Amino acid sequence: MISKVQKVVLAYSGGLDTSIIIPWLKENYGCEVICYTGNVGQDNELEGLEEKAIASGASKIYIEDLREEFIEDYIFPTIKAGAIYEGRYLLGSALSRPIIAKHMVQIAEKENADALSHGCTGKGNDQVRFELTFKAMNPKLRVIAPWREWDIRSREQAIAYAEKYNIPLTVSKEKIYSNDANLWHRSSEGGVLEDPWAEPPDNVFEVVILPENAPDTAEFIEIEFEKGIPIGLNGKRLSPLDFMLQLNTTASRHGIGVVDMVENRLVGIKSRGVYETPGGTLLYQAHREIESLVLDADTMHFKESIAPRYAELVYYGKWFTPLRLALDGFVEQTQKHVTGTARLKLYKGNAIAVGRKSPFSLYREDYATFGEDDVYDQKDAEGFINCFGLPLKVRAMLKLNGTGASDYEKPDYSKFKRD
C-alpha cells in the first residue's frame, strides 16, 4: 500500500490500459475507483462501457455527453483564433483533454473523491494536459499516473495483467497503432509510423477515404458563418453537432483532411503522427476566406502573429490560463464581422476555395478593378512610393558614394557537389 487514498476518479476509455488501471489502483492504493468517460465523439468506443467498467472492478461509472460543449467552448474558439500547431496539426487530442479533465474534477468534488487518475504514458503530451487542468480546477486533488509508477512496459505485460485480474478484453491482441479519436479528429501514432520515412499504410485511415478512391467528380459546398461561428451548410442551418457530423462525412468522402507530420512534443521528444481531421480542415479554410474579406490588414496580420502562440498554449495543455483567455478576448473582438459564406470545391483530397461573400466585406470591386474606375487616382501612387521607398533610396545613395553597408553575399554554390 503506497499511501492512503479513499476514492479516485479515473479517466476511462474502456481500452486495455485504462481497464487494468482499475485493479491496479485498488491493489496499490486500496481505494474505490469511479470511472469517468466524457463523450467527445469517440462514438464506437462507448458501447458496453458501463458493464465493462463494473466487471473490471469500478464501483460506478459516469458517462457524459460533452459533444456540444466540446464544439462550442473548445473547438469554436480555436477555429476563430486560426490556431494550428507547427503549421499542420489541428489540435484534436489537445482540445479534448481540458474538457474531460474539467468534468473529472467536478465529479470528484461531487463524489468527495480525493484523487484523480488517467492512463496517459509518461512520454506524451496528454498527461500534461490532464494534469494542468486538474491543477487549475482543484489543486488539492491528488494525481495518480500509473504509467509513471508501475512496471508494466509492454502491451503483452498489460494483457497478462488483465488476464490475471479477469478484466474483460474486447481488443485484439494486436494493436497496430496508438489512436485517439473524437468528433474533430483521429490520430495515429506508433507501429510502422515510428519510421518517419515510411509511408502510412492504408490501414492507418479509418475516417478519411484515400484520395485515389474518392469520387471522380468534384463536389461544391457552402459554409456559412456568423460572428466567426459556422452555422449553416449548403444553405441549411444546423446545430453545431449536426454541422460537424455532416461536414466530416462530406470531407471524408473526398479524402480531405489528412496530415502526416513530425511534431515536437512538449516533453522534448519528436514524434510522427498521422491525423485525420476532415471537417475541421474545411472549417479552418472556409473561416479564413470570410476573414480575408472582412478583416483590415493590421488586424489580420496581428491575428496571424498570435495564432501560433494560441496553438502552442492549446498543445501544451494551458487551456485554463489567463493568457489563453486574454487572447480569446482579442480574437472575439476580431470576429464581430466574420459573417458570410465560403464556397469550396472538394476533389480528391483537395479543398479549393472558389468563392466568398459577406455583408461586411471590405472588398470593393470598384476599387480593385483593372477596368476603368473613378475612385482611385493612380497618380497618388507616385507620392506614396516616394515616401515608402525613401529609406531604400538613402541607402542606395550612400552606396554610390562608397560609404554604404555591404550587401548580402550569395553563398558559393559551386562548393556543393552536383551530379
Q: How far is the CB of 58 from ligand ARG (least distance, A)?
A: 20
Q: Whose Cβ is closer to ligand ARG: residue 131's or residue 189's?
A: 189
Q: Whose Cβ is closer to ligand ARG: residue 187's or residue 339's?
A: 187
Helix, strand or coil, per DSSP, at residue 77: helix
Among 152-160, 176-184, 276-284, 367-375, which window interacts with ligand ARG (CB under 6 A)? 176-184
- Check: CB of residue 99 under 8 Å from CB of residue 40: yes
Exactly one of 97, 186, 272, 324 is catalytic; name it: 97
Residues 317-336 that bind ligand ARG (CB under 6 A): none
Q: Could you give the string, one character per residue 115-144, with x where binding to ligand ARG holds by CB under 6 A and - elsewhere?
A: ----------xx------------------
Q: Whose Cβ is closer to ligand ARG: residue 170's or residue 264's?
A: 264
What's the CA gap between 13 and 19, in Å, rounded?
A: 8
Q: How far is the CB of 179 from ligand ARG (least distance, A)?
A: 6
Phi-psi region of 14 (alpha: psi -120 to 50; beta: other; left: phi over 0): left
Q: Residue 17 catalytic?
A: yes
Exactly one of 67, 96, 126, 187 is catalytic; name it: 126
Cell of 242: 449536426
Give the chain's largest Cα–Cα span.
88
Q: How far is the CB of 262 from ligand ARG (least distance, A)?
A: 11
How many residues bind ligand ARG (CB under 6 A)? The answer is 10
Question: Rule CB under 6 A: is residue 276 a binding residue for ligand ARG?
Answer: no
Q: Whose Cβ is closer to ligand ARG: residue 85's or residue 243's?
A: 85
Among 7-15, 33-41, 153-161, 179-187, which window interacts with ligand ARG (CB under 6 A)? 179-187
Q: Whose Cβ is closer to ligand ARG: residue 225's or residue 275's?
A: 275
Distance between first and last Cα of the chain: 67
Q: Whose Cβ is closer to ligand ARG: residue 268's or residue 383's?
A: 268
Helix, strand or coil, per DSSP, at residue 64: strand
Question: Rule CB under 6 A: is residue 187 a binding residue for ligand ARG?
Answer: yes
Among 11-19, 107-115, 173-181, 354-362, which window interacts with ligand ARG (CB under 6 A)? 173-181
Question: Rule CB under 6 A: is residue 19 a binding residue for ligand ARG?
Answer: no
Q: Whose Cβ is closer to ligand ARG: residue 96's or residue 341's?
A: 96
Q: How far is the CB of 315 from ligand ARG (least distance, A)?
A: 6
Question: Rule CB under 6 A: is residue 280 a binding residue for ligand ARG?
Answer: no
Q: Residue 126 catalytic?
A: yes
Q: How far is the CB of 378 from ligand ARG (least distance, A)?
A: 51
Question: Rule CB under 6 A: is residue 94 a binding residue for ligand ARG?
Answer: yes
Cβ-based neighbour number of residue 349 at 10 Å: 16
Interface residue with ligand ARG, options 178, 285, 292, 321 (CB under 6 A): 178
DSSP class per residue in 249-280: HHHHHTT--EEEEEEE-TTS-EEEEEEE-HHH
Q: How far is the CB of 212 from ligand ARG (least distance, A)?
A: 26
Phi-psi region of 156 (alpha: psi -120 to 50; beta: other; left: phi over 0): alpha
Q: Residue 114 catalytic?
A: no
Q: Exposure string (b/e) for 200-221, b if CB count within 10 Å is 16 or more?
A: beeebbebbbeeeebeeeeeeb
Exactly one of 17, 19, 187, 188 is catalytic; name it: 17
Q: How far is the CB of 101 from ligand ARG (least distance, A)?
A: 14
Question: Rule CB under 6 A: is residue 339 a binding residue for ligand ARG?
Answer: no
Exactly one of 178, 260, 292, 309 is catalytic; name it: 178
What's the CA gap between 141 and 115, in Å, rounded?
A: 5
| Cα distances (Å, whole numbers) of residue 348 to 258, 272, 273 | 12, 24, 22
Residue 96's nearest CA partner among 44, 50, 42 is 42
Interface residue with ligand ARG, options 17, 32, 131, 180 (CB under 6 A): 180
Contacts 24+ apart (CB under 8 A), 48-51: 48/14, 48/170, 49/12, 49/14
- Check: CB of residue 233 under 8 Å from CB of residue 223: yes
User: C-alpha 370: how far from its chain's center?
Assistant: 41
Question: Rule CB under 6 A: is residue 273 a binding residue for ligand ARG?
Answer: yes
Complete edge-to-edge strand list for the sheet that includes strand 7-11: 60-65, 32-39, 7-11, 115-117, 142-144
Helix, strand or coil, per DSSP, at residue 282: helix
Question: What amino acid is encoded at 356 in this protein?
Answer: R
What are the backbone angles phi and psi of residue 70, rounded to the nearest 5°?
A: -60, -45
Q: Whose Cβ is closer to ligand ARG: residue 19's or residue 179's?
A: 179
**By the criterion CB under 6 A, which residues form the site for ligand ARG?**
93-94, 125-126, 178-180, 187, 189, 273
Active site residues: 17, 97, 126, 178
